[in-house]
Amino acid sequence: MPVKKLKAFLNQHHIKYVSIIHSPAYTAQEIAASAHIPGQELAKTVILNVDGKNVMAVLPASYQVDFQRLRKALGAHQVELTSERQFEKLFPDCEVGAMPPFGNLYDLEVYVAERLTEDDEIVFNAGTHSELIRLAYADFAKLAKPRVLRFSTTEAAMPW
């Protein structure tokens, strides 16, 4: 069961969380609607390739990655989306595209959009397309140790 690893990790660190079961949904906006959570409060996890290295970007579901801004913030030459086919093997215990934002569980650096730090809580996929986890943002930050950057936008952004 995909959510076992995540829950064991949270329990091991004595983190309080709420599990939210919803009907199967696959896009961040569908998930937000299914679980009755505003899109800006639901965090989505996106896998990016930064100069040949996979990283995890976490941003509000209703936002997009601003590739140019992220490239500049990281001092990178190239930042692009990693296809599901390319990253599915990185998350063997998760349904494809439903990975939680804990890159540290998968040896990936985590970058979190500054906008997510403005909320007291964070809600995200728990490794399946039908379960979410809600917990305090401070607990997420303590465990995932993300680098906070300004890289999200509500505008559709192109990767160049």
Q: What is the pLDDT of residues 109-152, one digit of tens each?
A: 999 999 999 999 999 999 999 999 999 999 999 999 999 999 99
- 3-class DSSP state of 147: strand
Q: Identify the weakest region by mean pLDDT among 32-36, 65-69, 72-76, 136-140.
A: 32-36
Residue 88: partners with Cβ closer than 8 Å, 6 or more residues away: 96
Residue listed under structure tokens 């660190």: 13
Query: pLDDT grade, residue 2 (50/70/90)?
Result: low
3-153 has which fold?
A: YbaK protein (3.90.960)
pTM for this one?
0.91
Query: Could you report how far apart the first and last alpha carbons of the chain are, in Å?
Result: 38
Domain extent listing, the chain: 3-153
Asked whether the predicted pLDDT for residue 39 surpasses 80, the reply is no
Whole-number percent of the chain with pLDDT over 70: 95
The two counts, helices (H) then strands (E), for the chain are 5, 10
Residue listed under structure tokens 């639901």: 42
Name the strand (E) or helix (H) holding 28: helix 28-35
pLDDT for 62 equals 87
DSSP-assigned letters across all residues of 43-63: EEEEEEEETTEEEEEEEETT-
